[in-house]
Structure 1
Amino acid sequence: MTTAFVFGLSPWKDFIRSWLPEEKIYCQKRAISWLEFHAVWAPLIAISKSPKIYVWGYKHPHFIERFSRLSRVPLIRIEDGFIRSVALGASKAPPLSLCFDSPVLYYDPSSQSSLERILETYDFLADPTLLLRARRGMNRLIGSRLSKYNMSRDVDVRSIYGPKDRKRILVLGQVEDDMSIIKGCLRPMTNNDLVHLAVQENPGAHVIYKPHPEILHGTRIARSSPEEVRSIAQVLDHDIALADAFETIDHVYTITSLSGFEALIRGIKVTCLGMPFYAGWGLTDDRQSCLRRSARRSVEEVFAAAYLLYPKYFHPQQMTMISFEEALELLHSMKHASANP
């Protein structure tokens, strides 16, 4: 049995124990000082059998990563998967999917993540069963109207957008201090910068700006005000379902949002200002490059890597690992139950 040392996870993320049933787990749930780590934890790690260090994303002191590197103890980063829950992460809803990666996570192009390695090297043509699962999975995801978070309300988007008489652009806002932007975009950029660029590059188009759900629900802080771009774009003031927001859209602009990939699987053109996991494979209009990404991939292949091969899925009631398809059905039933209490 290996030994897992988990540092810095919030107390409510104690669910991580269920995801690592084969490992003996030590959890340090509060902030840790350099002195405490080296006086208490480093010696324990050194005498443990096959130790691993787990952290959430990049929320850890730098000395832990340095210790991991010098001691040659694997450091594994944890992050939510691409279909998560029927509520925002900030609401402390447990995730149905998680990603475990090292040395970097999927949204960090500074080095090769496991997801990037799969996309660069996997022989998808030799695995027709996987590609069939991917095509069916894409169709089921679109048909279910599910996304990563699923608390948005369904609407008649035609009453919001109005009649379509010109090209229609959707700008996908993000939490601007989110690590996916910090790691995935070479130059500082705000949501308002993205709106201005979409307007500038598409004169005469109907530009619609959808702020991030966590901004609209007030669980994260906005770094730029939608009011400043209301004169040049239609701002969606309410958190509507992403499936509705994509209706009648011709082109999506994003920095690094996962929602950009959800546009791609619907056949919508996507411009990326940063380098999300689905950029660099010949599918998107990229404004940033990653020379490691030399393979050309189809949408089905990227979906297969990102939704079928890369993450893990877990049933929080049955306490067992499940497949993507089972997770999607569970999420669908959870959303139906939340809509019909």
Structure 2
Amino acid sequence: MSAPPIFLFGFNKWKTFIRDWFPEYEPKYARMKQWPLEFDIYWKRQLLRNPDTRVLAWQYKGPPKLKEFCARHRIPFYYVEDGFLRSVALGASRVPPLSLAFDAQDMYFNANGPTDLEDILRTYDFESDDALMNRARATREQLLASRLSKYNSGHSLDIVSIYGKKTGKRVLVIGQVERDASIAYGCSKKMTNNDLVRFAALENPAAQIIYKPHPEVLKGTAEAKSDPELVRDIALILRQDISLADALDTVDHVYTITSLSGFEALLRGIKVTTIGCPFYSGWGLTDDRQASPRRGRKLSIDEVFAAAYILYAKYLDPVSKQPIEIEQALEVLARMRAEQIAA
């Protein structure tokens, strides 16, 4: 008996790793660029041929009518995106992810409507789940002790050699890829990285302002739409890809639009101002500049961590190709980083 199909829309050809996540299914890759009527004429018929069909869409790169069609015909559908502990290299380097996020409602970074992650944050009974909360605390401590991050592509160094001696308040501005979907769908304001640097400097006139451009911008795999040189007069610009754990050392305040780095700052007890509405804002932990009427619940940092990193994100061992939990994922990432440094 042949395996049921799993249809993959919006997946670049190099993302063959998805086979490892669904070994019981036969992957069917749709073309990235389709003819205007291709979905109506061809793919709808294909999706209905097997009652056990599943559909995945990488972000919003599938056909516009895909999710609606799947809902109407009761075909399981999920949006897919990199998880919060991805790899020891950038996604642009085509390294398979250790973690993925699957969401039946929407992309977790879309602030315009509910998502599976937001529903967990909004409704889960954390107070009654002592086992989960004990696990969250232990895993958060494991993450901080390992100094791991989402990408782990940056170099580790003595940050004093870059920042200099601390004499007052220190503000770190986190740059993002400005064409990123998390900004387009997670921030209602028009704001570039340079705008963010200027805003942070305006609100903190006596502080040392440090600007960390996104690693993909530093490595040239993503375009910088705003030139960092234009804010050199008000900020120290980090020119090398420094590990996020090092960059956050001795920092008092972080400004971000929607970056996950803001949450990693919160994990370290650092004040965070969010201009947009990332998944971790609106729960009483951040200085929010974009309100979300759906989010009124007060949560602890461990509760948000438990929701996003334990209950929501999924993990896969890159060697055994078996599902694992976050604790094992951290061990795998630490080992991969050590091997990369030793190479």
Contact 1:34 1:63 in 2 (8 A): no
1:258 match: 260
Contact 1:146 1:332 in 2 (8 A): yes
1:14 match: 16
CA-CA distance at 1:11 after TM superposition? 1.0
- Residue deviations 1:281-322, cap 9 Å, x none? 000000001111121100000000111000110011101001
Report the number of matched residues: 341
Structure 2 CA distance, aligned partners of 1:91 and 1:267? 31
Q: TM-score, normalised by structure 1?
A: 0.97
Contact 1:3 1:49 in 2 (8 A): no
Structure 1 CA distance, aligned partners of 2:327 and 2:145? 13
1:268 match: 270
CA-CA distance at 1:29 after TM superposition? 4.2
CA-CA distance at 1:16 after TM superposition? 0.7
Q: Which amino acid aligns with 1:255?
A: I
Q: Which amino acid aligns with 2:120?
A: I
- Residue deviations 1:213-266, cap 9 Å, x none? 000000000110100000011111111111111111100000000000000010
- Residue deviations 1:92-115, cap 9 Å, x none? 000000000022111111111111
Provide structure 1 residue ranges, at least 5 long, that are not aligned to the other structure.
none
2:93 match: 91
- Aligned mate of 1:233, from 222, 229, 235: 235
- Residue deviations 1:105-163, cap 9 Å, x none? 11111111111111111111111111111111111111111100011101111011111
Q: 3-state DSSP class of the match of 1:62?
A: coil
Matches within 5 A, 1:197-216: 197-216=199-218
2:122 match: 120
Question: Over aligned residue pairs, what C-alpha RMSD do you find?
Answer: 1.4
Structure 2 CA distance, aligned partners of 1:253 and 1:163? 21
Alignment pair present for 1:52 and 2:54: yes
Q: 3-state DSSP class of the match of 1:261?
A: helix
Q: TM-score, normalised by structure 2?
A: 0.96
1:167 match: 169
- Residue deviations 1:140-197, cap 9 Å, x none? 1111111000111011110111111111100000001100000000011100110011
Q: Which amino acid aligns with 2:290?
A: Q
Give the fraction of aligned pairs with identical amino acids, expressed as a percent: 52
Which stretch of structure 1 is more off in the superposition, 58-67 or 6-15?
58-67
Contact 1:108 1:184 in 2 (8 A): yes
Structure 1 CA distance, aligned partners of 2:61 and 2:227? 26
Structure 2 CA distance, aligned partners of 1:339 and 1:237? 20
Contact 1:175 1:212 in 2 (8 A): yes
Contact 2:32 2:61 in 1 (8 A): no
